[in-house]
Amino acid sequence: MNRVDKAMDRTREGAFHFARGDFEGSVRHFCDAIEKDPGCHLAYVSRGAAYVKLDRIEEAQSDFEKAVELMPRDARSHHFLGLAHLKRGDRDAAENAFDRAIELDPRYGVAYFSRGTARSEKGDVDRGGKDMETAARLGEANLQNFADNHNIWRTKYDKVMAEIEGERERDIAVKPDLTAWGGG
């Protein structure tokens, strides 16, 4: 197993611990992943999220900054960096990070919500409210898109199942029911 695979393995293990609420354990695994592959963007983002859960905001911010450095076009990394700034009370830096996330992915609804929060906390309630409206619209659109995709998948699944059931019914119709003869 090469270093990148080892790092991803440790990152998956860290994610498992994170999901269980073992944030200290997850940090240890993410640190191990970063040691194995210092370019593992996902390990930095994930460790930063664990640090947020542990209220270790400066360390989280540092990890999110490294994630942005490694993948400057990743909207999610910019968003997380903005959340760390917001948690530290630096609303201007937070707003700038959210701006960048939105610039990279204009359909990233949660970034609008976060920017709206930062703006509202700065007293810019009008622009904050507009961001919240945009987040809600995008959320509805994303939810509808998910529902549409799910319905398409469901329709395809239903067609396949109907075909399988049709084949089973044809098989049953062709084969005589030997139990009806009373075998004797």
pLDDT in tens, 158-167: 555 556 666 5
Q: What is the CATH number of the domain that holds 26?
A: 1.25.40.10
The stretch 66-84 carries a mean pLDDT of 97
Cα dihedral 165→167→170→174 (10° resolution): -130
In this structure, is residue 81 part of a structural domain? yes
Instruction: Tell me what pLDDT residue 183 has.
Output: 44
pLDDT for residue 85 is more than 90: yes
In this structure, is residue 166 part of a structural domain? no
Instruction: Tell me what pLDDT residue 163 has.
Output: 62
In this structure, is residue 35 part of a structural domain? yes
The residue range of the domain holding 73 is: 3-132
User: For the chain, how many structural domains are there in total?
Assistant: 1
Structure-block tokens of residue 41: 């963007």
Q: Which residues contact 86 (CB under 8 A, 6 or more apart)?
A: 94, 114, 117, 118, 121
Cα dihedral 117→119→122→124 (10° resolution): -120
- Maximum average pLDDT range among 45-49, 106-110, 173-177: 45-49
pLDDT for residue 39 is more than 80: yes
pTM for this one? 0.75
Of 96-105, 121-130, 159-168, the one with minimum mean pLDDT is: 159-168
- Helix and strand totals (H; E) in the chain: 8, 0
Please answer whether residues 58 and 27 qualify as being in contact, where contact means their C-beta atoms are separated by less than 8 angstroms.
no
Rounded Cα–Cα distance for residues 87 and 117 (Å): 11
Instruction: Tell me what pLDDT residue 140 has.
Output: 79
pLDDT for residue 91 is more than 60: yes
In this structure, is residue 167 part of a structural domain? no
pLDDT for residue 48 is more than 80: yes
Rounded Cα–Cα distance for residues 7 and 33 (Å): 4
Rounded Cα–Cα distance for residues 48 and 131 (Å): 25
Q: Chain-wide mean pLDDT for the chain?
A: 85
The stretch 103-127 carries a mean pLDDT of 94
Rounded Cα–Cα distance for residues 23 and 30 (Å): 10
In this structure, is residue 31 part of a structural domain? yes
Structure-block tokens of residue 6: 């080892």
The stretch 53-80 carries a mean pLDDT of 97
Q: b vs e for 67-80, b when ≥16 Cβ sit within 10 Å of the residue's Cβ? A: bbebbeebbbbbbb
In this structure, is residue 176 part of a structural domain? no
In this structure, is residue 100 part of a structural domain? yes
Instruction: Tell me what pLDDT residue 42 has.
Output: 95
Rounded Cα–Cα distance for residues 128 and 118 (Å): 7
pLDDT for residue 137 is more than 50: yes
In this structure, is residue 168 part of a structural domain? no
